[in-house]
Amino acid sequence: MRPRLTLINRDYTRLWFGQAVSSVGDAVFSTTLVLWVATVLVKGKPWAPQAVSGVVLATGIAVLCVGPVAGVFVDRWDKRATMLRTEVVRGGLVAVLAAVSFLPAGDLPIGVWLGLIYVTVLVLNAASQFFAPARFSVIAELVTGEADRARAAGIAQATGQTAWIIGPPLAAPLLFTVGLQWALLFNAVSYLVSYIAIRSVDVRPAPAAGRDRPGAERPGLVKEFTAGVRFFAGSRFLVALLLLAVIGQFGIGALGTLNVFFATRNLDVSARLYGYLGMAMGIGGILGALGSGRVVQWIGARRTTWMGLLVSGTLLVLYSRQVAFPAAVALLFVFAVPLTMLNTAMSPLLLAAAPREFRGRVVAVFYPATQLASMLAAVVSGWLASNGLRDFSGSVAGLRFGPIDTILTTAGVVIVLSGVYARIALPVTDTAPAAASDPAPSDPAPSDPAPSDPEPSDPAASEPEPSEPALEKGAQ
């Protein structure tokens, strides 16, 4: 029997391969930059943590400021060409930084080095805001059918998580044995591989919308952006999906921020064992992503979403009550499985609700909103643990509660409640309601109906970099 060498179809396989290589390159790049800044550039400086946090801040600025506007342009432009151009920009930028890094670190002031790094990270992530919705639209054209779209989302999530298992262990040896410049060149080459893979994909140009017909006047940027926001806000289905993603992001964001303190305080283990908790979540996430397509095929996208929220929220509450490290590792592994499945199930629902001419703007609203929720979750949970609930202590029915486990318990309960909301708010059938006609009077183009066989695929998984997933951190 010949081995199966394609995933879903040939074009999707090529696109997946390019993104898999690029995701590993991004993981190596991100880890290398943080290590180099912390251990070489600002080593021993009292403000070193602030210097490292600037990398995260640059990423957040790009997502929140560029993301919403990028969707308008993606809806105007050819999607495949947009992806190719962003890979040229990103690969060229990293190659330039790699060339500069051949200079000894002492030849340039620290401020200049940090400025170069922050600008590079900012532009890379700004380009990603164009790449992500374009790729989302291309996958919508390449993959049809509920089961296949769920498989595509699961494969994307599994690939992204695998990249972050492979990439960071590669980064340190590359940095400390061959140097920063070679680690950067590795990422530049990964963009080249992605470019070649995208060029090999056969995507037929979408039919021209009414505003693109000869002689038709195109609305201005502000009007098109406003039309996209109005369309999103006018769809109860899209608003429900976004609300579910934001609620879930708050719960998962609290876990990501406080889990290291939960390990050292509640589980009473050394910080050196903390990595096993992350590994457990990574492995569980991969298994959940790979199995999500079959689960969606069995029970449908809607049931996978609300049941995933109920189960993962309940498991997070159980995890918050643990005091034994082995049991905590096992629970975190199990917790990641339904979490990833519900992420996978949400994206085809998003695909089904977004007509072709609005896909870029829909994604451009969805991604920044979930990114903002993730940032707020980190800030709020950190403040509660450090100030608001720092000295909190109590007991209920013989169960003792401290600040960290109380926050995690509350996060789990919120996720469970969001599952109840999803059970009520999402449509009874797995087919999302057909997209309404364009609500904006400035854009008379008829909207495409939602696909007749929508597939639940995680919106965040469309860009693992960093995508990435609605409740997962992006890597790009």
Amino acid identity for residue 289 in this structure: A
The reported pLDDT for the residue numbered 85 is 94
Examine the pLDDT at 445 and tell me if it is beyond 50. no
The two three-digit tokens of residue 300, written as one number: 């449908």
Q: Facing residues of 400 across strands?
A: 395
In the chain, how many domains are there? 2
Please tell me whether residues 129 and 194 are part of one structural domain.
Answer: yes
The last residue of one of the domains, among 141, 171, 202, is 202
Q: Is residue 475 part of a domain?
A: no
Mean pLDDT of all residues in 154-181 = 80
**Residue 206 CA: distances (Å) to CA of 13, 80, 144, 330:** 21, 11, 15, 47
- The lowest-confidence range among 13-22, 64-73, 131-140, 430-439 is 430-439
User: Other C-beta atoms within 10 Å of 298: how many?
Assistant: 10
Domain match, 449 and 316 both: yes
Domain housing 20:
10-202
In a domain, 209, yes or no: no
Q: Which of 19, 15, 26, 14 is closest to 186 using CA atoms?
A: 26
Query: What is the residue whose two structure tokens read 């403040």?
Result: 383
User: Are residues 285 and 415 located together in one domain of the fold?
Assistant: yes
Residues 185 and 235 in one domain: no
Dist CA 40 CA 56 (whole Å): 18
- Tens of pLDDT, residues 7-60: 788 888 999 999 899 988 888 888 888 888 878 888 877 777 678 777 777 887
Does residue 301 sit within a domain? yes
Helical ranges in 110-263 per DSSP H? 110-142, 146-173, 180-199, 221-234, 236-261
Which DSSP string corresponds to 293-358? HHHHHHH-HHHHHHHHHHHHHHHHHHHHT--SHHHHHHHHHHHHHHHHHHHHHHHHHHHHHS-GGG
The CATH number of the domain holding residue 264 is 1.20.1250.20
Amino acid letter, 442: S
CA distance 457 to 451: 13
Q: What would the pLDDT profile of 454-468 be if each residue is shown by its tens digit?
A: 333 333 333 333 333
**Same domain for 327 and 414?**
yes
* 172 C-beta neighbours (distance < 10 Å), count: 15
pLDDT exceeds cutoff 60 at 214: no
| Most confident residue range from 89-93, 269-273, 402-406 | 89-93
75, 145: one domain: yes
pLDDT value at position 428? 63
Kindly state whether residues 34 and 62 are assigned to the same domain: yes
Among 115, 146, 127, residue whose Cα is nearest residue 26 = 127
The reply to whether 186 and 300 lie within a common domain is no
How confident is the model over 332-373, as pLDDT tens digits?
899 988 888 887 777 777 777 777 778 778 877 787 788 778
Task: Render pLDDT for 195-211 as a digit per residue (tens, 0 to 9).
Answer: 999 999 887 655 544 44
Q: How far apart are CA 279 and CA 56, in angstroms?
A: 22
Q: Which residues contact 159 (CB under 8 A, 6 or more apart)?
A: 16, 19, 20, 23, 464
